[in-house]
Structures are given as C-alpha cells and as structure tokens.
Chains A and B, each alone.
Chain A
Amino acid sequence: MFRQGAQNSELETTENMLTIKNLRVAVEGKEILKGINLEIKAGEVHAIMGPNGSGKSTLGNVLAGKEEYEVLDGEVIYEGEDLLERSAEDRARMGLFLGFQYPVEIPGVPMVNFIKTSVNEHRKYKGLEPLTAGEFLKLMREKKELVHLDSQLTNRSVNEGFSGGEKKKNEIFQMAMLEPKLAILDETDSGLDIDALKVVSDGVNALKDPSRSTIVITHYQRLLDYIVPDFVHVLYQGRIVKSAGKELALELEEKGYDWLKTENV
C-alpha cells in the first residue's frame, strides 16, 4: 500500500482521497476525456459543470468502473490504490458510490434483496458480519425517512415503476444505506422539481462529514444552492478548462458556457 518513491511529492498525493492524473478515456473508439487532472481531499465537495457532451457522465462512469469505457492513458489513485485496476464491485465496496443519472429498472429483483445484498457485501469487504434482519430493517427505516422515500417503494422491484423523482431519491437512499467515502452524483438534479431537489440535497447534506467527499456532476447552478461546493470545475470537450470556488457556478449561470468556450479555443 505504501508506495515507494520521492517521499515529499507522494505525501501530497496520499493526502488526497482521489487523484486523477491525465485521464484519457475513449468510448467506442472516440476519445471523450482528453486528459483530466483532479485532486479531491477528504471532506470536500467538488462540482463538475459543463455543457452537454463535454464528458461529465463519462467521468462518473469510468470512475465507477463501467467496462465499455476504454482508458487510453492516465491514472486514478483512490485512497492510495490504483482504482482503475479494480472491478466495479470492489470500487463500490471501497467506498465509492455513483448516483446514476438514469437509475436502471430491474424487474424481478426486489428492492429489499438488492439493498440487503449490497449492504452485506460492503460489510463483508470490511470483515464485518452481515446485519441481522432486525438491524437491517431498522437501518432501512431510518434511511428511508432521511430521504422521505415512500415505504411502499421498497416492496417493489428495483426502480420498477418509480417516477423520475422517486428514482433519484432512491439513489440517495442507497447512498445513505452504504455511507460511501466518495459519492459521485451524476445529474442527480435532472428531472427533479424544486421540492424533490430540496429533499435530495438535504439527504446529501445530512451525510456530509469531514471524512467524506462528494463530486456533484450537474448541468445547472440550481443544485449548488443546496449542495454548496468547495470547488467548481468546468468540463468542456473532455478537459477541465476552469476551476475556481463556488462563485464560478454563479458566473456560469449568468454568462452561460460560451465565454469559456471562446476563452479556450
């Protein structure tokens, strides 16, 4: 786990929860990410913004381990480990969580079985015993309340027949159950009305603590009124073209993305 090499420069890296260096990724032969560099420390909230097609979701998916994505170059160090070497399931068990932009409906897989298997796989990875039925139900009740998830929904199949808002709440519910170290929320705000947005953000904020980090991928500034980022990055054509504090989000809201485009072309 302890990497050899120049102590000083490494020290800086190991302080980061996540370090992305020159990450280049192709999908179906087309290069989408063209050299991403990003460092995230524990407790930080980073927002990644950018116009459609800039590669925001690709970044989220490749970090979570989706296999169709071809890593051309670069590395991702998460908690001192080479993340790209690990399977999707291991990344999850290591505390990385992707909140899906489009949560998948899986008819026939009951929500309860799904969450229970998921929670217990996480526990197994940490060398913990599976939760008893009682403990599990208690935990589920607590977390459902946190995101105001309709009790009936957990009696259904995974996401089956859930409305758009319910699906997003369900993502946050799962996040609350799994308590990840690094949560990547991919356009969690899309398709949410203002009330649902607030519920979802409250859920995210409730989980905030100095040991956890969040990457919020979003198109609009509106979510960032509720989940306040420490840093805002603008992704454009596969590169981070600007990074700044939370004020950047407001600037983007006001001016749109065009001024960045012209600045960088």
Chain B
Amino acid sequence: MTLTAKKIALSEKYTELFYANQSKLDEDSSNLFNRMREIAFKRFEKAGIPGFKNENYKYTNLERVFGKNYRHVFEYEKVDVDLNEAFRCDVPQLDTHVVLLVNGWYYAKNQPLENLPKGVVVGSIKQIANEKPELVESYLNRQAGLSDDPMVALNTAFAQDGFFMYVPDHVVFERPVQVINIMRSEDPVFTTQRNLIVAGKNSQTKVVFCDHTMSDCEFLANNVTEVFVGDDAVVDVYTIQNQNNKANSVNSSFFKQGANSNLLTSVATLHGGLIRNNLKVEFAGEHAEANVYGISFTDKKQHVDNYTNIEHAQPNCLSNQVYKNVLDEDSVGAFTGRIHVVRDAQKTNAFQRNNNVLLTDSAQMNTKPQLIIDADDVKCSHGATIGQIDEDALFYLRARGIGEDDARMMLMNAFAHEVVQKIRIEPLRDRIDELVEKRLKGELAKCHSCDKN
C-alpha cells in the first residue's frame, strides 16, 4: 500500500468504528456527550490520525499505534480490582481521597468520598453529567472544543466516562484527590477517558493522577482533561505516568486560568511505551501564573513527546516551563514548547527551558521552542540543552570515594530534582524522589503491580 492508501485505510477504520458503534456510545451516555459526537468525529475525519506529515506530530507518528487492532470498551465492564494491589502504587503518608478508574471508566465500587467540603463534587463524569448537568454543561469541551488537534476531536467523539471534580467558589479543598487510572485487560484495549476539573473563584484544590497498568498487554489510551481555574484560585495537577512499556497513550490537557489564579502542573513519566502529552494553558484574566513542569526517564524503545502551548491572551501573566528528560538505550524524546503572546498582552513574563541528558549514542532527543510574540513590552526566554552526564562532576564525586554507578545515580537524581522539588505536596515530592531513584536503579520494572516491562 502506498502511504496515502494506508492513511485512507486507517481513517476508514475509525469511520467504520464510529458509525458502527454510535448508538452504543450514545446509549448509556449523557446527552451532553452525545450531542458533540458527530461534529467532533467530522472534525477528526478531516485530518485523520496524525502521521509524520502533521507538523504538530512531527516527532511522534501515531499511525503506527493507532493502526493496530484493539478491543474497544463502549460500556462499563464489571471488574474487580484488588485494592491492595492497586494501592501499592499509592503515596504513603499522603492523606488523599482516592478514586479508581479502570480502562477509562469510573470504578463502580469506589466508595463515596467522605468529609468533602460543602458543595464539592467528585465522581464519574458520566454520572454527574446525567444527574447534575448544570455543573458540567458550561465547561465540557469549552476548551478542548477549540483545539484543531484531531486526537482531541477523536476523544470527544468517543468519550463516555472519566473523572469529574467541582470545587465551588471560595472553597479550600485541602486534602488532595488521587485518581488512580488503571489499565487492565488480557487483550489489547483502546480506551477513551474524558476528565473535567472545575475550580471556582478563590478556591484551592490539588489532584494527583497516577497512570498504571495491571496487566502485561498492549494498551492505547486517548485521553482529554479540561481544567478550569477560576479567578484567584490555586490549583495543582500532578501526573505520574508509570505504565508497562507496551501501553501507549495520547494525553491532552487544557487549562483555562482566570485572573490572579495560580496553576502548578507537573508530569513525571517513568515507564510506558509511546506517550504523547499535549498541554495547553490559556490565560483568560490578568495576573495569572502558570507553572508547568515535566520530567521523564526513558530506556529501551520508549518514546515520550511533550508538546506545550501557552497562550498569553492577557497582559501581566507569568508562565514558567521546565521540562527535563533522561534518555537511555534506544529511547526517543521530544519537546515542543510554544508560547504565544498575543497583541496587547503587555508585561507578559514567559520562560521556558528544556534540558536533556542522553546516556547512550543511540538515544535521541528532539527539541523545538516556538515563541510567537506579538506584544512589545514582554520578557520571554527559552533555552534547550542536550548533553551527557557532566564528566567533571562525575570525577569530583568519584574522587571522594563514591562509586561510579552511585555517582551517576546521584547526578541523574540531581538533574531530576529541580523539577521534582517544585511539587507542592511534600509526601508526593518524597514519593516521586523515591520513584525516580527506583526508576534509575531499574527497580520499578520489578514492581509487580505497576509494571511488567
């Protein structure tokens, strides 16, 4: 088949899949979802699954993973998750509310969360869209719907369930919510998860997503998360990606920030197959601040691509981005960081940095900053480095009796630490430090519940 023929075949495969299952998708879903499907699917069809020719997916060809055959989960599958097994991945000493999602669906046996502050709603987006549509309607797809990314449209077309959280105005929700996303199946599965977080004016909340696999098969997830940060709100969203190396995913996150709001979002990628993280922040009010961080450790044939887009649509806002990657063996990484300062978004501060360490000759890193600045009174900076372990530092440590392997580990940990230390939940920070160290020692791959690599 020629490339074009292949592309058409792939596109037809999803067309067939959608129309053959549309009624099934609609059956058990909220009308808020159903009414978006067809338009979204048509948008997806226009571009299809992005291949190398799509400039935005230049470093990550999705045709390969989307071309395979998967089982699709169009209705809730009754499963039993051994909680002990799932909880092995949790964060000790971290006092959190925990909810599980299995293959993109809100786990039916999640206990109702107790002692939530007044008005806080946490649960299945499917259920809440049915029962309290007023909480969902004004937000769902209001950010994602503006995206021209076909993967986002594909999610909207197939979305049925996911995680939902609503924190009313002026509510400080101190206890973090930990969302454990589990992929479990005996055969390759394709999942579509749709998350929505709404933090009202002057509210505060923290969410930790932990992506895990509990079986050793191929997975493909196409997820979308929308986060609305109200005026003066403070929101933290952390993600730990630690799946088996055959689990592939596209994760698109959209953050919309009101005036004077403060966002911190950070992603730590430890294990996984092909991972593409899209992240967009849009400032909808002045004096808002977004801190966006990422760290990844890859080896074997892992592929991790972070693609960020900070839309400085308002004056006087601040964005900080730091992404770091440690690449071993034949792994491939990519970082594209777009900053767009619109006309009149004066006094913008936008900073971006991407630092990478290649541990082998065959590891590969692609990095592309993209600054589009249409205002004239701004401070913007970007910087990217790709290098090896600092040999002088290594010698310094060894000259003090620290063995070569330990010294390398110390240096890699130190490299990661700049990102990890930004985490505003201390036990989580310690936990990620620990995970990073285990990851570097190769011990994570032995953790039965999280990884079967």
Contacts and interface: CB of A to CB of B under 8 A. Distances in A.
- Pair from one complex: yes
A33 interface: no
A64 B399 contact: yes
Given A89-B401, A106-B411, A106-B414, A117 B393 contact: no
Interface string A151-166: 0000001100000000
Contact of A108 (B400, B404, B415): B415
Given A87-B404, A104-B392, A121-B403, A92 B398 contact: yes
B397 interface: yes
Contact of B399 (A88, A109, A122): A88
B411 A118 contact: no
Given A87-B404, A89-B404, A117-B406, A107 B418 contact: yes
Interface string A70-101: 00000000000000000111011100011010
B143 interface: no
A65 interface: yes
Interface in B357-404: 390-393, 395-404
Contact of A103 (B396, B404, B406, B415): B396
Contact of B402 (A65, A68, A89, A157): A89
A66 B395 contact: yes
Contact of B401 (A68, A106, A121): A121
30 contacts: A65-B398, A67-B395, A87-B398, A88-B395, A88-B398, A89-B402, A89-B403, A89-B407, A91-B399, A92-B398, A97-B399, A100-B399, A103-B396, A104-B393, A104-B395, A104-B396, A106-B390, A106-B411, A107-B418, A108-B413, A109-B397, A109-B413, A109-B414, A114-B402, A117-B402, A117-B406, A117-B410, A118-B402, A121-B401, A121-B406
A106 B404 CA distance: 15
A97 B401 CA distance: 9
A107 B396 CA distance: 13
A108 B403 CA distance: 18
Contact of A98 (B399, B406, B407): B399
A113 B400 CA distance: 12
A178 B402 CA distance: 12
Contacts, number: 78
Contacts of A104: 390, 392-393, 395-396
B31 to A, nearest CB: 51
A174 interface: yes
A108 B399 contact: no
Nearest to A109: B414
Interface of A: 64-68, 87-89, 91-93, 97-98, 100, 103-104, 106-109, 113-114, 117-118, 121-122, 125, 157-158, 174, 178
- Please classify the interface of chain B as helix (H, G, I), strand (E, B), loop, or mixed, using the class held by over half of its residues: helix
A178 B399 CA distance: 12
A98 B414 CA distance: 23
Nearest to A102: B392
B393 A118 contact: no
B417 interface: yes
User: Which of A68, A88, A113, A117 is most buried by chain B, counting CB atoms within 10 A of its CB?
Assistant: A88
Given A65-B395, A107-B418, A158-B396, 16 more contacts: A64-B399, A68-B391, A89-B401, A89-B404, A91-B399, A104-B392, A104-B396, A106-B396, A106-B397, A106-B414, A107-B414, A109-B410, A114-B400, A117-B406, A157-B414, A174-B400
Contacts of A158: 396
Nearest to B420: A108
Contacts of B416: 108
Nearest to B417: A108
User: Which of B402, B407, B411, B418 is most buried by chain A, counting CB atoms within 10 A of its CB?
Assistant: B402
Contacts of A97: 399
Interface string B400-433: 1111101100110111111000000000000000
A68 B391 CA distance: 10
Contacts of B414: 106-109, 157
B102 to A, nearest CB: 37
A117 B402 CA distance: 7
Nearest to A119: B401
B61 to A, nearest CB: 34
A65 to B, nearest CB: 7
Interface string B182-199: 000000000000000000
Contacts of A113: 410
A68 B394 CA distance: 13
Contact of B400 (A66, A87, A157, A178): A178
B399 A92 contact: yes
B421 to A, nearest CB: 9
B401 A122 contact: yes
